[in-house]
Amino acid sequence: MRIKTTHFVTFITMLVFLSCKENSTKVYKISGKEIKITDSLQGIDSLKNFITPYRTHIEEVLDEPLAFSTTSLSKDQGELNTAIGNLMADITYEQSNPVFHKRTGKNIDFVLLNHGGIRASLPKGNISRRTAYQLMPFENKILVLELSSEKIEELIEYLVTNQRAHPICKQIQIVLNKDNSLNSVTINGESIDKEQTYFVATSDYLASGGDKMDFFKNPISSTDLDYLLRNELIDYFQKVDTIRASIDNRFYKQ
């Protein structure tokens, strides 16, 4: 009887309902707002308990000491080159070149990254995966672009005009005169050969027009190493015991 009642009522309700549908229900008032999630909310325990084991595992892996740095390095230390930038560009060269060589039989000529891309300082003491995540929180990966000598000259011109410590590896040296004009450029100890093309390793962000590095547009060829810059840093940290980096004369004013 009870079940029957329920059925009947449901049926009636449906009828009422269907009749409603003939005349679409009309919105007469709308209100809207943004609610900030703050620590005034405790959070639901069952969810916190669900998250905790994942967080614990991540933290263990991230904080495992991989290498040691005797000093802290910041991107503000240095004029035209910085120790941290030199470190990042040299790591990029060291980690990328074997991959590139294996794939193409060619060698990278030099590396160019961007100063803005260094997102944190390198702390003194233990260096971990977390350090790599802090330096490079984005998923940028390394591309090797084949550029004409004209494009290389544009690249040098960009660095000379910008006067910013964009990270370059030690395979390239740029010397400026006191009046900020270009004195000399060498790549692997030799001046730019107009007949030659050059292989420049950079991030996919810069290769796709970031920081207005237009000389990277329309390269002769482009090789995606499928190697995240962050993973290059982590692999390097795992390989070495002590991180050594300093300001040198790869880019300086006489």
Residues that bind another protein (CB under 8 A): 1-2, 4-5, 8-9, 12-13, 15-39, 41-45, 47-48, 50-51, 54-55, 57-58, 61-62, 133, 139, 204, 208, 224
Cβ 62 to another protein shortest distance, Å: 6
Residue closer to another protein, measured from CB, 12 or 220:
12
Tokens representing 212 are: 């207005």
The Cα angle at residue 192 between residues 188 and 195, in degrees rounded to 5:
115
Quick check: 81 and 251 in contact, CB under 8 A?
yes
Residue closer to another protein, measured from CB, 63 or 79:
63
CA neighbor of 133 nearest in space, from 233, 24, 36: 233
Cβ 3 to another protein shortest distance, Å: 11
Residue closer to another protein, measured from CB, 93 or 205:
205
| β-pairing verdict for 141-147 and 198-203 | antiparallel
Burial 141-168 (b: 16+ CB within 10 A, else e): bbbbbbbbeebbbbbbebbbeeeebbbb
Cβ 169 to another protein shortest distance, Å: 25
CA neighbor of 207 nearest in space, from 228, 189, 222, 192: 222
CA dihedral 77→119→48→61, nearest 10 degrees, is: -80
Cβ 48 to another protein shortest distance, Å: 5
In a 13 Å sphere around the CA of 206, the CA atoms on its Cβ side amount to: 23
Residue closer to another protein, measured from CB, 7 or 244:
7
CA gap 69, 242 in Å, rounded: 6
CA gap 119, 107 in Å, rounded: 28
Residue closer to another protein, measured from CB, 8 or 79:
8
Cβ 55 to another protein shortest distance, Å: 7
Residue closer to another protein, measured from CB, 45 or 179:
45
Cβ 27 to another protein shortest distance, Å: 5
Cβ 210 to another protein shortest distance, Å: 13
Residue closer to another protein, measured from CB, 26 or 178:
26
